[in-house]
Amino acid sequence: MSNSTVDASKRTWLIASSCAGAVGAGFVAVPFVSSFQPSERAKAAGAPVEADISALEPGQKMTVEWRGKPVWILKRTPEMIASLKHTDGEVADPNSKRTAYPIPEYAKNETRSIKPEVLVVVGICTHLGCSPGDKFTPGPQPSLPDDWQGGFLCPCHGSTFDLAGRVFKNKPAPDNLEVPPHMYLSDTRLLIGDDKKA
């Protein structure tokens, strides 16, 4: 057997085993690479959600889930809306200018909403992620000031928010409650998670 015959057979074996290795690596890589893509469940978790607010009475709040977070929809009474003028000077950021997350332009106002009577906020305190409780009744109450106008109280560290989700001064929470992107599909249907649908 000559050296050229041995070299040719080694070369053939090397090429064949390299090809087999490449094919095998491809079979291993495809599931690995596809695992980086979000699952259908993950895609759905980030998808916008619709909320029917037709049964929501003035003074009532409902909660829907969007991206694993509670989103509060509060139908404010005229008295609740009027109370925001009283809290303007007491809140840390009345016009939502300082924030760790983007605030939609339509929420950079006193009511922080598209329609003054409907508040849409993420129900998670901006301090350490607790969920504040409803304290809609005005007046003196435990853990609240005597001139309380109504709003939300975080049970974890005492942060208070007015009925627009604006945090009061000198509280642990650094920001107002988050306003998620949202839009009206009709007078009684909201889309939460998208405000740019055609």
Per residue in 156-184, pLDDT (tens digit) is 888 999 999 999 999 999 999 999 999 99
Q: What is the pLDDT of residue 187?
A: 93
- Rounded Cα gap, residues 125 and 111, in angstroms: 18
Domains, the chain: 48-192 (2.102.10.10)
Is the pLDDT confidence value at 45 over 90? no
Q: What is the pLDDT of residue 137?
A: 93
First vs last C-alpha separation in the chain: 76
Is the pLDDT confidence value at 198 over 50? no
Is the pLDDT confidence value at 63 over 60? yes
Q: DSSP strand E in 17-167: where?
A: 49-52, 61-66, 69-75, 118-122, 133-135, 151-153, 160-161
pLDDT of 93-139, one tens digit each? 888 887 777 889 999 888 999 999 999 999 999 988 889 999 999 99
| Cα angle for residues 8, 27, 16 (degrees, 5° grid) | 5
